[in-house]
Structure formats: C-alpha cells, structure tokens
Chains A and B, each alone.
Chain A
Amino acid sequence: MYSFDIERPTRLADAVKLLSDASEAQALGGGQTLIPTLKQRLAMPEKLVSLGAVDEIKGICTADDGALCIGGGTTHADVAAGAGAYPALASLAGNIGDPAVRNRGTIGGSLANNDPSACYPAAVLASGATVVTSSREIAADDFFDGLFATTLNEGEIITEVKFPVPEKASYAKFEQPASRFALVGIFVAKYADGVRVAVTGASEEGVFRWSEAEAALSSDFSAGALDGLSLAGDGMISDLHGSGDYRAHLVGVMTKRAVAAAG
C-alpha cells in the first residue's frame, strides 16, 4: 500500500469535514473491497476517513411511512440479523461474502463502490429505495451510473438507505465459482403499484432493471409469466466464468426462481 494517514472521527459532521479538507481523501467503510484495492496499489489516497466509529450512521429502524431505514455504516451481518421486516433484504445481506466479510462490510460502502457483481445494488434498485447522503436524497433510479460509478459527489457519504417494504420479494443469486460474487443476481420486489426486477452481475453497464419482466410480472406475479421472455447476450459481461449468452440465460432462470421463492 502507498502511505496514507487514517482518521477515525466519531461524528458524521467531522467525517464530512475531513473529507472536504483534504484533496485526496477517501471514505473508508468496512474496507472489504477498498483494502484489497489499496494492497494492489490501485488507489493512492493521502487520507482515509474511517466511518467505523460514526455511530449515528449505523442501525436499522422503521420510518413513519413504513420504509425500512438502514444506516449507511450498518454491516451486512447487522442487516442480516436486524432487517426482519424485509426478509428478502435480510437474506441477501446474510449471503454476501462470508461471515467475516459480513462483520466488516457495510451497505453504504457496497453501494458507493457499485461493483457490477455486488448484491446490494440489486436490492436498492428493485426496491426503488432512496439513498440518503450527507447532503441530499437520491432515488435508486438516479443513483447507479455504470461500472463502479455512482452519482455521489466527492466527499459525499451515504448515511442511510430507505427501503419501501414490498408485499413480496426475493433475491436469487448464482455465484461466480471463485469470488462467490454474483455471476447473476436477481432481486424481484412486488409492490402494490407494480413489480420491479433488478439484475446484478450480468451487464457491462452494471445493475439494471429488466423492464419486460417487470411488465409481465406486474400483471401476473408467477414464474410462468416469464415464459418466452429473454435477454440478449449482447452487452452482457463475457469472461472466463461465463459468456454473455450464458449470463443472459441465467437471468431468465434466476428470475423465475426468485419469483417462485417470493411466493
């Protein structure tokens, strides 16, 4: 790793200030992706601002409108244990990485990184969640901006994610055999006003909504409603672990399984 200073503020306001004061400062969530990146010397911050001691962005609660609110600094393990009001989300969190990763990695860190194979982006997009930051609120549909890119500004910290709780939902992940990240992951969420389907792992553009599936499922929430629907392999990630065509095929299979599991 390159040399850098590390700060460990306990208040959000201090974290925001530290990030804005230094030109090459970077926020450190759980570090489960950032630290390996630093080891490869693929990033060169002057200062890391650890959010690990900022208690005000941790925790889970229910808003007045029924949305499940998860602090940006909440670990995957805490979401798995505490998001019982949204079982599909808790289940997703409980299958990210491995137990030790789940004890460190945070929802805010995962979303800010927007790995194209990460699980959380699918949940956020399929739930039509709202990403709350240190300066504003961003709708899920406006948050993700391609591979490893979001509409977050420099120094902006994810403080909370507000998930409207659906009537039914499920996440179906098909794991890449080595990394165990999603080769394809499908989050299906059924709300009173329609069904949202988000796909992670598959597209060269990152997480996306499968609108044809949403339309079909909105009128008939059953696996059979997806018969005949398929995605093209063009634009899908193609690598050692699977061609674009294979990923496109898996999207169909795993979407059906997600719908079946959602009941």
Chain B
Amino acid sequence: MSQVSMTVNGKSASGEVEGRTLLVEFLRENLGLTGTHVGCDTGQCGACVVHVDGKAVKSCNMFAAEAEGAEVTTVEGMANDDGSLGTIQQAFQDHHGLQCGFCTPGMVMSAAALLSENPNPSEAEIRDYLEGNICRCTGYHNIVKAIMAAAGQDVSHIAAE
C-alpha cells in the first residue's frame, strides 16, 4: 500500500492504495464518489470517464498512483457553485439525454471535454467524439441533441425530425 494525493473537484484528497488500485476504485471506494461508474473491463464503454488535468480519461484504465498530484474532475464536480445543474447537465435534462442514467456521468464528462476543445461541434463531430461512450438506452438521438443545445445551437428542427 502506498499513499496517493490528488485534487478532486477542487478539494485535496488522499488515501492508501495498492499498485493495482484503479483511479475509478479510488474515487468510488476511498472517496465515496460513486457517480463515476464501471460498465466494462476493456476500456470501451466510457461510463468511467473523468477529467485528469483537464483531459477526458477512462478512470478504469488508469491507476490511482498515476494520478498523483493531478487535478481530477468527476461528474460530482460539474454542477454550478449554487448546486444547480451546469450547462451541459441542464441540456441533458431539457432534451431527455438520459434514461437509466448509468452511462450519463461519462457522457457528461466527454461532452464537457468536447465542448472545451470544440465549442461549436457539428452533429458528425459529436457522434465521432462519443465513440468511446456507449449508451444502451437512448439510441443517442437525445444525447447528440443535448450536446448541440449545450453548445448554444438551435435544435428545434431536430424535434421535428
């Protein structure tokens, strides 16, 4: 066991981990941040996406020890300071971009990463960027629509599709 320290959602966090402890395990089990989910064991589903030093990563595909000193943001850190939903979260609710909610944390984190890289993505760019996030409920329609809306695009024509 060794000590690991990082900043999670703006607060310092530390704990004892094994070499094999994954970042997602540290978040869920040591810190009790259960918003980040595990949906597969081959790195494809993306339910575990968090930001490490501002970049989207799969927290089930990174060891906790490798996040030593890093700035980590999880879905729990995405709301506004007053507790209200952030822009992307609000767009997901407004446009029914989630159903069972299990893939949602990863979707929100990937969407945030996309919009920080590309503030006004096209539909095709959004679909391409979500290659590593699998949703089984929504058929993706409303996820893509929500991200377009979060980017400030007019999505009213999509409702009529």
Contacts and interface: CB of A to CB of B under 8 A. Distances in A.
Contacts of B129: 98-99
Interface in A1-55: 1-6, 8, 28, 31-32, 35-36, 38-40, 47-48, 50, 52
B62 A31 contact: yes
B132 interface: yes
Contacts of B42: 36
B58 interface: yes
Contact of B131 (A8, A98, A104): A98
Contact of B61 (A4, A31, A47, A77): A31
Nearest to A77: B55
B61 A104 contact: yes
A46 to B, nearest CB: 10
Interface string B55-70: 1111011110110100
A40 B57 contact: no
Nearest to A33: B43
Interface string A240-256: 00000000000000000
A99 B110 CA distance: 8
B48 to A, nearest CB: 9
B42, B52, B63, most chain A CB atoms within 10 A: B63
B20 interface: yes
Contacts of A101: 43, 58, 61, 132
Given A31-B62, A36-B61, A99 B41 contact: no
A100 interface: yes
Given A35-B43, A36-B41, A36-B43, A6 B63 contact: yes
B46 interface: yes
B151 interface: no
B63 A50 contact: yes
Contacts of B56: 99-100, 103
B144 interface: no
A38 B18 CA distance: 14
23 contacts: A2-B20, A3-B20, A4-B19, A5-B19, A6-B19, A6-B20, A31-B66, A32-B58, A32-B61, A35-B22, A35-B62, A35-B63, A36-B61, A47-B19, A48-B19, A50-B63, A97-B131, A98-B46, A98-B131, A100-B56, A100-B58, A100-B113, A101-B43
The 5 closest A-B pairs by CB, nearest first: A98-B132, A6-B19, A98-B131, A1-B20, A103-B55
Interface of B: 18-20, 22, 41-44, 46, 49, 52, 55-58, 60-63, 65-66, 68, 110, 113-114, 129, 131-133
Interface of A: 1-6, 8, 28, 31-32, 35-36, 38-40, 47-48, 50, 52, 77, 97-101, 103-104, 179-180
